[in-house]
Amino acid sequence: MRATPDVVPPSARLVVLVSGGGSNLAALLAAHGNPAWGARVVGVVSDRAGAGGLEIARAAGVATAVVAPADFPDREAWDRGMTQAVDVFDPAWVVTAGFMRILGAPFLDRFAGRIINTHPALLPSFPGAHGVRDALAYGVAVTGCTVHLVDAGVDTGPIVAQRAVDVRPDDDEASLHERIKTVERELLVDVVGRVAREGLTVIGRRARLG
């Protein structure tokens, strides 16, 4: 594992965490080819050696690392390993893009206020792993997606941006989630670029771009 040479402005350096296919990562990589976007993915770290996102990163020439829980004696050691693996890339921001593990205290302390996540619901409603399913079960007419900062809770960090998605009468979980993911990718790319170009100010629970 080797970090990208330091030719990227410090405020633009991104590390992306992935566990799955990497559709959000692919959207970020498509954007980072444009210098006007303002950010650059310098590393991709996964908890799974078989994550599709790793292949997407390698095809784009981005350095990768795998930090698999099975390779560590306990959760605390894995948390330290994740922190060290990401720290190698000296990121300004960490983006969790379909990363399916909760980050522990060592990681949160090291990158406090600099971890960006997306969630397929309009927080604070329907947090957790089943936001789309829970919104459908509740019978809402409008749901959506949220980009927020990560803290020690489950989807409880300050909200940076949100977009709404209408729930159609014939929606099931799969169809609704697919439409949310399309909007989610667009919102994530927009927010990450603006954070890199304009900065982010957080006062209490209020997060403001610029």
The torsion region of residue 66 among left (phi > 0), alpha (psi -120 to 50) and beta comes to beta
Catalytic sites, residue numbers: 119
Kindly state the tokens that stand for 155: 């989807």
User: What are the extents of the domains in the chain?
Assistant: 10-112, 117-210
Residue 8 pLDDT class (50, 70, 90 cuts): low
Residue 196 · residue 188 · CB < 8 Å: no
pLDDT in tens, 144-162: 999 999 999 999 999 999 9
- Return the ∠ at Cα 160 (arms to 57 and 21), rounded to 5°: 25
Say if domain 10-112 classifies as CATH 3.40.50.170: yes
Same fold, 10-112 and 117-210: yes
Q: Which residues pair with 203 in a beta bridge?
A: 206
**Residue 147 β-bridge partners:** 118, 161
Query: Could you read off the pLDDT of 113-125 as tens digits, one per residue?
Result: 999 999 999 999 9
